[in-house]
Structure 1
């Protein structure tokens, strides 16, 4: 009995479950080896470990089935209180029952332990769907990565892996629990490194202001392994949401970038005004004007000629992520194109223009955090892909002549 209690503590299983399993195993062993038709109960003493087998019989006038029934006269010999219809228990413990039942009991107990462990693991991880976990890469088979989470082994399918990311055995990685299945082989935990919520959870871990609710993550758009955009907002005007996420000398955001293997991250400020929000989302490009159509959830954005390629991004990535982040369709045009088409150019609020200028000029951030905060390197690379005229404008801008 002491061994069963220690086993329960080790496996995290209530010892009562194991005791119930022993009783069930002894009942099965008795029916298999002695009397399969008899209705019996096994009583196991939780302290001493002694057990007794009792046959359950119904009190009738005249017993026709001696296995299931007992006559009223015989029942009253045991106790005068018995009446017709009552049930009583008669001890039928065999003398050599322990040796015969041992093998059967062992199999049943082992099976119960496995079922209890599976149930505990399923309950533990099913309640953690959407949470981030840290595990160790155990092996890679058929393009699936198996990760040891301590209590169980999780699987990360190829579709949930970051492209071009190598997973080496014994590497420690963070991943998001996206689903927990209860299969015949036990609970199956599915992980993801590409889900947008992974980025959100990483910021919650690294940024105390987000964890405490001072800064709120409004939206996340992600192309795993390449680039992401995250919109943040602080109800308290004295709190800088972008600075909180960046951290001193960029340490907070850099920790997340390192975990995601140098995935670029743009942090923009959320706004209730759709025009301002869309302008911020197109960072690091400067925006001249934004015209929004509320009913259609469409917007027309005008940017300086030399910023057109930067606003669109490499293979349209910047515009695509901005559309995902804001939930608006975005049509981007240069100033020249807008003038040729004779479109009205509503200007952004002065405050929003100043804010966007500060974010993208780097007066407060890029000069200090050139690495990955606002993708200055990517912006420069995107600009180099523009036409020759655009390149000249960029050079003039750098020299301060524009």
Structure 2
């Protein structure tokens, strides 16, 4: 701007936020008699722009853009707009990066090749097909609550950050209980482990750091209100809540409930827990398609070998022979 108006001129450029247009002003000193036209303005002319101006004041004098080269003006505008967009993208990225691991609620914008595009207001997020709960169907404008799995930067040619959501992660169950159970949020009750078969069943192991607080009762809530709210958000997914134990054998027995346990033995070297159950409860202990045994193994962190009582006794007899 100074190059087009004159090197001696003091120039101020103001951006109009709503339209992203800019205005150019020359700063001139109000004098009785103008001796340097590039930096001064007469009191008579100044009063036409501002009736309160006085000699010695500095006044912003509008300058017509026609005095600039059109290309230079457009280039300046483009640079300013791009800087603003870059700053906005950086701000949105920083905001959502801090929210990794949080729950977020948005609305479905569209479904693209199995992936769900979710509007979060300031940004859009992706719920990939692999992070969706089997059986859940979403349509445009549907409300959706999900877990922010990760946030990454896009390249300069793309809008906003890449925000990956999940409804399949065990952390969704953890976060839902944290939002529904004040004792968990306050640290009185702690979720020690979560195992999940998305859309079907989850197991969570909890412990209380206050002997007067029942961890399972706190998670269930009065008349089951708290756990019911979580189950509804998960579309009817069954949830088993068990009390945590540092003893792997005891934790395993609790996690296999409601199956009765006859005997539990552990092999620390192989990190295997062998569980003996009544013959008529073998299917119950293992669960449909091995679900109960699989989730129990994840909760405990050991491999689980479940045997029926009769088979166990027969094996012992064979070994003795």
Q: Same fold (TM over 0.5)?
A: yes
Aligned to 1:339, what secondary structure does the other structure show? helix
**Is 2:231 aligned against 1:257?**
yes
* Larger proportion of strand: 2
Q: CA deviation at 1:138?
A: 1.1
1:307 is aligned to 281
Deviations 1:271-329 (A, max 9, x none): 01111111011122121221012222111101112211100000100000000111011
Residue of structure 2 in register with 1:233 after alignment = 207
Check if 1:294 corresponds to 2:268. Answer: yes
Partner of 1:147: 118
Query: How far off is 1:226 after superposition?
Result: 1.0
Matched, 1:162 2:133: yes
CA–CA separation in structure 2 for the residues paired with 1:275 and 1:144: 41
Give the TM-score normalised by the residue count of structure 1: 0.63
Q: 1:206 aligns with which of 175, 180, 192?
A: 180
Match of 1:138 in 2: 109
State how far apart, in whole Å, the 1-side matches of 2:11 and 2:105 are.
Answer: 45
Cα gap change, 1:340 to 1:232, in 2 (>3 Å):
same
SS of 2:207's partner is: strand
Count of equivalent residues:
271
Cα distance change, pair 315–49 in 1 and its aligned pair in 2 (3 A): same
Cα deviation for residue 96 of structure 1 reads 5.5
| 1:173 positional shift | 1.3
What is the DSSP-based 3-state SS (H/G/I as helix, E as strand, rest coil) of the residue aligned with 1:183? coil
Deviation string 1:367-390 (CA, Å, 9 cap, x unpaired) is xxxxxxxxxxxxxxxxxxxxxxxx
Aligned-pair Cα RMSD in Å: 2.8
> What are the ranges of 5 or more consecutive residues in structure 2 without an aligned counterpart?
16-22, 28-62
Partner of 1:13: none
Instruction: Give the drift of 1:235.
Output: 2.1
Q: For residue 383 of structure 1, what is the aligned residue in structure 2?
A: none
* Closer, same or farther: CA 51–177 of 1 in aligned 2, 3 Å: farther
Between the aligned partners of 1:338 and 1:228, the Cα distance in structure 2 is 29
CA distance in structure 2 between the partners assigned to 1:278 and 1:118 by the alignment: 48
Q: Secondary structure at the match of 2:276?
A: strand
**Cα pair distance change 1:43/1:120, threshold 3 Å:** farther
Q: Give 1:336's match in structure 2, choosing from 297, 300, 310.
A: 310
- The aligned counterpart of 1:124 is 95
Q: Name the structure 1 match of 2:25.
A: 50
**Retained in 1: the 8 A contact 2:11–2:24?**
no
Structure 1 pair 311–111 and aligned structure 2 pair: CA distance change class (3 A): same
Instruction: Work out whether 1:217 is the aligned partner of 2:162.
Output: no
Paired with 1:111 and 1:156, the residues of 2 have a C-alpha distance of 29
Higher helix share: 1
Corresponding residue SS for 1:342:
helix
Contact (CA 8 Å) 2:106, 2:118: kept in 1 or not? Answer: yes
Secondary structure at the residue paired with 1:128? coil
Name 1:380's counterpart in structure 2.
none
Match of 2:296 among 299, 308, 322: 322
Contact 2:102 2:175 survives alignment (8 Å)? yes
CA shift for structure 1 position 51: 5.5
